[in-house]
Chains A and B, each alone.
Chain A
Amino acid sequence: MDYKEIIAKFADMPGGIIQAYHALLDEFSYLPEEAVVEAARVFKMSTAEAYGVATFYSMFSVNTRGKNVIRICESAPCHVAGAADVVAAMEKTLGIKMGETTADGRFTLEFTECVGQCQATPVITVNGKPYLDISADKIPAILAECK
């Protein structure tokens, strides 16, 4: 769907810009500049304010991201359960560092704080979907599932 159509669906929702950004994220993985400008127009705020909202929340990004955003939880319970090993294995498998995107545009690696699945640490999410009890050997199967 076109970004204008996506934003228009939320035009009548008071304070709906954050919900519109989520819908944009589902489509593009990030918030393209023209979409933020359009959101500012639709929600009657300055472009600076619309950018202010886009950059405040860690799930949003105004920089391009890969099709699949992989986030590794680094909060204390995941930290002691071996999140650093997951980071190392993920970086090695994908050949990129945390914060980077693969050259083919398929994967972006990011840190996240606790995603509320702490019964089975360490935890990662792929496009928001949690994967539990992660160890290096589980990574290839998870990546293979991605489009």
Chain B
Amino acid sequence: MAEEMRIVLRNYGKVDPLNIDTYVAQGGYQSLDKARSMDKAALMAEVKKSNLRGRGGAGFNCGMKWTFAAGAQADQKYVIANADEGEPGTYKDRLIMENDPQSLIEGMAVCAYAIGATKGFIYLRGEYPELVSTLNAAIAQAKDKGFLKDFDLEVRRGAGAYVCGEETALIESIEGKRGEPRFKPPFPPVIGLWGKPTIVNNIETYANIPAILEKGADWYAGIGNAAYPGTKVFTLTGDVVNKTFFEVPTNITVRQLIFDFGGGIVGGKKFKAAQIGGTSGCFIPESLLDTEVAFDTMGAAGLSLGTGATFVMDETRDIVDIVTRIAGFFEHESCGKCAPCREGTMRTAEIMEKINEGKGSVKDTALLDKLGTVMSYSCLCGLGQAAPSPVLTTIKHFAADYEAKFK
């Protein structure tokens, strides 16, 4: 059986999150020292060569993103950690911050040095109030010990808006506004927070940085799937035996994830479907279980990796009912800025409810299919673009479930 491999969770259970000395004892902050001894361009080249790609869902090369902000001329630049973690079923970033906040802080400090920023923010979802004091204590200790030098770091709380995980909506929110996404381009590395060059990375992305600098880009690039190397933290929910988290190399298959790590289906029942990536993820039928979990292999199979949240459903589950609930989520979380999403999520929810109540017909699924396809390319941000995925993939792979509900 494939083995767990802990890189971002390397200190899980080994350090006291409220005592920085325990982090230093594990080699903490040596990578920041090493980074500061390097030429900035060489440092970013090293991160780029590791081929670390964003763990927040979009999969962009991290080192490459940093070079865009490094190259921009400005009197002030910002480093932001995206801890909005609103994708249902996901709690990996909480695990990192709760157990090993210094890994995040060290990763951010490396980024700040690389791009020339002196100010950073951790945008923490409002639903994690207990973490405010943990993070503030960790920042204060890192400052006291002199590790942060001129890098000033602040925690800002979100307040319950899924769309604020989208990086430009997040920036609006830190600026004290409604969290509505901006038109892109320009992208944040060029024009971001208060108009200044800004790097936004996911918590899991930052937590990889110290390990990459310690062990080298080649070491990292050699782990897992070559196009999306390293590990990924998965959180398993639903009808799976081990409802917990695993950090695994990116070349394992969905089947290994659910049956080896997850221990299979509760009560010896049969597998029906899994949704990977959170609520905006695609539904995976049995026939696609041998897909590798890496970003591009999932994409090639018409699936998505997203945050790595893995929601498993057994043979008794009512797929149409679950997708109806998911459609309700997007109707509620659409920020309303653009019409295709504002109207589209509302109509999708309405039609899903009609079908779920036994009043639908094949005409309705045809309409959902058309509406979803239009939304996927006409919505302004990723929320509206991804919202149709669960609907479209269940119509495709679980048509019988819909037919069983038709009037």
Partners in one complex: yes
| A23 CB → nearest B CB, Å | 10
Q: How far is the CA of A76 from the CA of B324 in the complex (A)?
A: 10
Within 8 A of A (CB), among B125-179: 125-130, 156-162, 173-179
A76 CA to B279 CA, complexed, in Å:
7
B313 within 8 A of A: yes
Chain A residues with CB below 8 A from B335, complex form: 56
Contact A56 B161 (CB under 8 A): yes
Count A/B pairs, Cβ under 8 Å: 121
Q: Find A76's partner among B157, B175, B311 (CB 8 Å cutoff).
A: B311
**A94: which B residues are within 8 A, CB to CB?**
none
Q: Are B311 and A43 in contact (CB under 8 A)?
A: no
Contacts of A82 in B (CB 8 A): none
From A18, A76, A116, B326 is in contact (CB under 8 Å) with A76
Residues on A with beta carbons closer than 8 Å to the beta carbon of B378 = none
- Other-chain contact of B88, A16, A53, A56, A76 (Cβ < 8 Å): A76
A125 to B90, CA, bound (A): 17
Tell me if B88 and A118 are in contact (CB < 8 A). yes
Complex Cα distance A114/B309, Å? Answer: 12
Residue B219 CB within 8 A of the other chain: no
Check A59/B160 contact, CB under 8 A, given A75-B88, A76-B322: yes
- Interchain CB contact under 8 A, B176 and A17: yes
Tell me if B94 counts as interface (CB < 8 A to partner A). Answer: yes
Give the residue of B88, B157, B179, B328 whose beta carbon is less than 8 angstroms from that of A77.
B88
Q: How many residues of chain B have a CB within 8 Å of chain A? A: 50
Could you mark each residue 221-264 of chain B with 1 if its beta carbon is under 8 Å from any beta carbon of chain A, else 0?
Answer: 00000000000000101110001110000000000000000000
CB-CB nearest in chain B for A50: B176
> How far is the CB of B161 from the nearest CB of chain A, in Å?
5
A113 touches B88 (CB 8 A): yes
Residue of B nearest to A121 (CB): B237
Once the chains are docked, how many angstroms separate the CA of A19 from the CA of B161?
Answer: 15
Q: Is A88's beta carbon under 8 Å from chain B?
A: no
In contact, A15 and B174 (Cβ under 8 angstroms): yes
**Is there contact, CB below 8 Å, between A22 and B126?**
yes
Contacting pair A43 B235 (CB below 8 A): no
CB within 8 Å for A119 and B245 given contacts A52-B178, A53-B178, A76-B311: yes
Contact assessment for B329 and A113 in the assembled complex, using a CB-CB cutoff below 8 Å: yes
Residues of B within 8 A of A114 (CB): 86-90, 279
Closest residue of chain A to B94, judged by CB? A116
The 8 A CB mask of B79-90 against A (1 = contact, 0 = none) is: 000000111111
| Distance from B324 Cβ to chain A, minimum over Cβ atoms (Å) | 10
A/B interface sample: 18 pairs, CB < 8 A: A14-B175, A19-B156, A57-B158, A74-B325, A75-B325, A76-B89, A76-B322, A76-B329, A77-B88, A77-B311, A79-B322, A80-B238, A112-B160, A113-B88, A115-B127, A116-B127, A118-B89, A121-B243
Interface, chain A (partner B; CB < 8 A): 14-19, 21-22, 43, 49, 52-53, 56-60, 74-77, 79-80, 112-121, 125, 128-129
